[in-house]
Structure 1
Amino acid sequence: MQTEVIKIKGMTCMGCVNSVKSVLEKIPGVGSADVSLEQKQVTIQYDAATTQSSQLKDAIAGAGFEVVN
């Protein structure tokens, strides 16, 4: 498993946190997604053999949030 921390802009409530967590956990290969509203980031554990970092970022953007580089 690989770990990646992605900063997210636009989360304002626990509903946002749940939305991000939900879209990420639906991606094959994602083991866990720990979303922090306070730190405005998500820590994702995933299998790099089946999942690309770009897929994770695209899913966050698709949920209506901005990925901060």
Structure 2
Amino acid sequence: MHQLIIFDIPALHCDGCIDSLKSVLENFPGISLVAGDLESLTLSVSYDESSITPEAIKLQLAAVGYVVAGTQFPNN
């Protein structure tokens, strides 16, 4: 089942940041959508919970230098 998670990422400064994260995350099985919002400094990720976990997504973000300051689960 697909879920939506929103990561608070204070280091999102430009569209290039968002594009970089999209290119990294969209290569992982189970991730179907990545969208950033520079105004709220958030990254929304739609994922298949049977293929990848929120913690695994957070680890991938950290691996490319983006610290997650918080998470929101709007579907819950």
TM-superposed CA distance for 1:38, in Å, is 1.6
Gaps of 5+ in 1: none
Structure 2 runs not aligned, ≥5 long:
71-76
Give aligned-pair identity as a percent.
Answer: 30
Match of 1:29 in 2: 30
Q: What's the CA shift for 1:54?
A: 0.8
Count of matched residue pairs: 69
1:53 Cα shift? Answer: 0.5
What SS is found at the alignment partner of 2:60?
helix
Which whole-Å CA distance do the structure 2 matches of 1:22 and 1:35 have between them?
12
Q: So what's the TM-score if we normalise by structure 2? A: 0.82
Normalised to the residue count of structure 1, the TM-score between the two structures is: 0.90
For the aligned residue pairs, the C-alpha RMSD in angstroms reads 1.0
Larger radius of gyration: 2
